[in-house]
Structure 1
Amino acid sequence: MPLFFPVRVLTTLVSLLLLAATVYLLWSWYDGHLLVERADGDVEPLREDWRLWTGLLLLGFSFLGRLVVVPLLARPDRDEPSVAARGTGEEVAGPMGTTLFIETLGRADGPTLILTHGWSMDSTIWHYAKRQLGQHFRLIVWDLPGLGRSRGPISLETFAACLAFIIERSGAPGVVLVGHSIGGMTIQTLARDFPDLVAQRVRGMVLFNTTYTNPLRTMILPRLMQALRWPVLEPLMRLTILLQPLAWLGAWQSYLSGMAHLGNRIGFGRYVTRSQLEHVTLLSTRNSQGSICRGNLAMFRWDATGVLAHLPVPVLAVAGAADIVTKPEASQAIVGEAAEGRLIEIAGVNHMGMLERAEAYNEAVAAFASAVFVRDGVRS
């Protein structure tokens, strides 16, 4: 989401400045601050040991800082599943020149849920859903183009076309779509661009922490963020795309120092665990920084206002009460427009609430999906 970008830029700059200070201190210690004359008439550099020890301390922090920072920012882990695990998915040729990584798991004879992750992430972010929802439903998860193992053009229209392709490919007569953040925006774009497919094959939509328009308008400080768009955000994003190799190095340096974890912490509320923070930060570092910026730019030009009002499809919006990236008011507006809408707000969670309170989010999905499938004559 665009809010994370300027924060990541700042934390990367801080990390690089610390590394520059490290180099300066170690070099100035080696070179000597002053020249002193020895008894034999020669001169030698006077080395101040505080420069050495401070430089070594900063050097250690620059490459091992996350080991200290993460425990300070998040709770100890609970019964966490293996967050990086992928199943036996496959890469398939998708529409509009894309190659999609798609994984099918869960109960093979169960009703079908298709899960679309948020931006800068990939489908491994659904590890809690795989464990909890997979017991009762057939799950299809996939990587958005430009992220994870999927490749192709980056735009909301491309993502919606890929989601339409996956619905057709699933072979299921009816599906429930679940999307987090840009995943929810993708579902709304699908409803806008493929209304007939949605009316025929989609039994319900579950939208996690998402919006219905340019997210700069529905996050904290919307006027400031929109004012910064043209003079600051867009130029910085285009520069990042142009300098992708340097941006990649800077992102990894920020990750190793723990500064990237500090930046990503703003997307969580009070329940975040260490492995959750680590997983999100690793994904936002490992994915191409240029691709992430292209996706942010695409969001600036996106709007789906009023789309769901024209479709007789039940919509469940799940919002984090403390979400600063897509404020709960955005979910309220989506539900207000939908022909059949319902809102659930989860207390104490931020934009990554589907990790922080995974049990609450997944229980909401299971109850909603079971109800719409029973109404459709399919039992979970």
Structure 2
Amino acid sequence: MSMRRRVIGATVTAAAVGLATTGAAVGVARRRRQIVGRRDDEHPGFGSLRSAPVTVVADDGTPLHVEVDEVPAPTTRKGRRTPPLTVVFVHGYALELDCWHFQREHFRGEHSRGHVRTVFYDQRSHGRSGRSPLGNATIDQLGHDLLSVLDAVAPEGPVVLVGHSMGGMTIVALAEQHPELFGDRVVGAALISTTAGGLEPSRILFPMVPAWGSAGAVGRTISALARTHKIVDGFRRAGKDVALVATERLAFGDDVPGSYVEFVDRMLSATPFEVVAEFFPGFAELDKFDAVGVLAKVPTTVVCGTDDKLTSIGHSRKLQSLIGGSTLLECHGAGHMVILERYDEVNGELDRLIGLTGAEAGR
């Protein structure tokens, strides 16, 4: 083992030990028991909603895992079948398509109007999609990927785009690259717990570092650790108690059922650290506020929890102020995973948005 590798390995070990020690000081084990003990009666069955997979190949050859919940094409008064409205859900950083569980259930279930076609896909290097080539793990590339998905599984008919966190950034990237789509194929958009720039990336992975810790220093550390990502993944698995407690603090505002926290923690843990490191620099570089005005062409809603610790409510307020005619739903006390924590409010807002598009069934 080289000296550099030993130094990095020692640094990771020291960090893990330090975090575990700090965790013990604040009662990590006790808090984990409290989280796990908060059981819900509904047993959501996270990860159980499936449809036949479709592989969409991105413009650089990366295979994207896509699932489509189909509905019959609506019939107009003249007896002609028209393409149904398609709602495309785009997930966030270190998550996967299953994070939309409650939204998928809603549009499948009895509360759905029954004529909304839904599309879910795993972003490149996430979930069941293929790994991105080096250098292509960028927000701009995610915008190109979204267009590839639209062209493959929603080539005709009206489309509403719904993005959470990095998924919202993906939609903004598409708007910058192809503004002509908005008001034509794209008839509505929802930006949830997201931003178009101004992020402090150090908060995404190291929210508990002292205030003097700079984003630049964190970025250099991430780059170094990426070279020993297998070691880091090992420590992440070993420190599962700390990870679960950190997930609750970062992802949620209120005391949600333990199954919610465990579900998000599983998705985060399943994302290799090498993937985390590849996308990380893009958050510091993100600056697309000049592009969001395109969304004023279509009904747009912005949603965020007031206790979001990753993309704070100020980001959503700024987005709403820059998108003419848009609305802002602030979910009081909710955290970054508002799509789980306040799914009823989010689903209601999506129903309202779809109604505003006037394209619910092509009628």
- The answer to whether the superposition gives a TM-score over 0.5 is yes
| Aligned match of 2:256 | 272
| Aligned match of 2:118 | 139
TM-score by length of 2: 0.80
Structure 1 residues 167-316: aligned runs within 5 Å: 167-169=150-152, 170-216=154-200, 228-231=214-217, 233-255=218-240, 258-266=241-249, 267-311=251-295, 312-316=297-301
| Aligned match of 2:85 | 111
Deviation at 1:71, TM superposition (A): 4.0
Report the CA distance shift for 1:225/1:120 in structure 2 as closer, same or farther (over 3 A). Answer: farther
Task: Figure out how many residues of one structure are paired with residues of the other and give that number.
Answer: 319
Report the CA distance shift for 1:377/1:273 in structure 2 as closer, same or farther (over 3 A). Answer: closer
| Aligned match of 2:34 | 72
Deviation at 1:294, TM superposition (A): 1.6
1:72-113 Cα distance to aligned partner (Å, 9 max, x none)? 136322413211224322223222231100000153434210
Correspondence for 2:145 among 162, 182, 189: 162
Q: Distance in 2 between matches of 1:243 and 1:168?
A: 38
1:182-210 Cα distance to aligned partner (Å, 9 max, x none)? 11111011101111223421101101111
2:40–2:259: 8 Å Cα contact kept in structure 1? yes
Structure 1 residues 321-336: aligned runs within 5 Å: 321-336=306-321
Structure 1 residues 346-357: aligned runs within 5 Å: 346-357=331-342
Report the CA distance shift for 1:171/1:11 in structure 2 as closer, same or farther (over 3 A). Answer: farther
SS in 2 for 1:144: coil
1:43-82 Cα distance to aligned partner (Å, 9 max, x none)? xxxxxxxxxxxxxxx9xxxxxx98x754413632241321
SS in 2 for 1:114: strand
| Aligned match of 2:53 | 89
Q: Distance in 1 between matches of 2:307 and 2:13?
A: 23
What code does the residue aligned with 1:354 have?
A: I
Deviation at 1:252, TM superposition (A): 1.2
Deviation at 1:280, TM superposition (A): 0.7
Over the matched positions of the two proteins, sequence identity in percent amounts to: 23
Deviation at 1:172, TM superposition (A): 3.2
| Aligned match of 1:122 | 96
Correspondence for 1:148 among 117, 127, 150: 127
Select the structure of larger CA radius of gyration.
1
Deviation at 1:242, TM superposition (A): 0.5
Please report the RMSD computed on the Cα atoms of aligned residues, expressed in angstroms. 2.8
Q: Distance in 2 between matches of 1:291 and 1:180?
A: 18
Q: Distance in 2 between matches of 1:363 and 1:12?
A: 43
Deviation at 1:227, TM superposition (A): 6.2
Report the CA distance shift for 1:14/1:361 in structure 2 as closer, same or farther (over 3 A). Answer: farther
SS in 1 for 2:94: coil
| Aligned match of 1:363 | 348
2:85–2:157: 8 Å Cα contact kept in structure 1? no
The reply to whether residue 340 of structure 1 matches residue 343 of structure 2 is no
TM-score by length of 1: 0.77
Structure 1 residues 26-45: aligned runs within 5 Å: none
The reply to whether residue 102 of structure 1 matches residue 66 of structure 2 is yes
1:11–1:259: 8 Å Cα contact kept in structure 2? no
1:246-296 Cα distance to aligned partner (Å, 9 max, x none)? 1111111122xx111011112201142111100111111111111012212
Report the CA distance shift for 1:194/1:228 in structure 2 as closer, same or farther (over 3 A). Answer: same
Q: Distance in 2 between matches of 1:107 and 1:14?
A: 52
Deviation at 1:214, TM superposition (A): 3.6
Report the CA distance shift for 1:363/1:11 in structure 2 as closer, same or farther (over 3 A). Answer: farther
Stretches of structure 2 that go unaligned for 5 or more consecutive residues are 1-11, 74-83
Q: Distance in 2 between matches of 1:11 and 1:177?
A: 43
1:271–1:348: 8 Å Cα contact kept in structure 2? no
| Aligned match of 2:16 | 13
| Aligned match of 1:35 | none
Q: Distance in 2 between matches of 1:103 and 1:238?
A: 33
1:132–1:362: 8 Å Cα contact kept in structure 2? yes
What code does the residue aligned with 1:129 have?
A: Q
Report the CA distance shift for 1:286/1:310 in structure 2 as closer, same or farther (over 3 A). Answer: closer
Report the CA distance shift for 1:214/1:198 in structure 2 as closer, same or farther (over 3 A). Answer: same
1:129-180 Cα distance to aligned partner (Å, 9 max, x none)? 1110233321100001011111223111111001011112212321000000
1:321–1:347: 8 Å Cα contact kept in structure 2? yes
Q: Distance in 2 between matches of 1:225 and 1:205?
A: 35
Report the CA distance shift for 1:360/1:230 in structure 2 as closer, same or farther (over 3 A). Answer: same
Q: Distance in 2 between matches of 1:198 and 1:117?
A: 20
What code does the residue aligned with 1:370 have?
A: G
Q: Distance in 1 between matches of 2:104 and 2:315?
A: 27
Q: Distance in 2 between matches of 1:102 and 1:174?
A: 19
1:331-373 Cα distance to aligned partner (Å, 9 max, x none)? 1111111132110111120111110111110111111112213
What code does the residue aligned with 1:161 have?
A: H
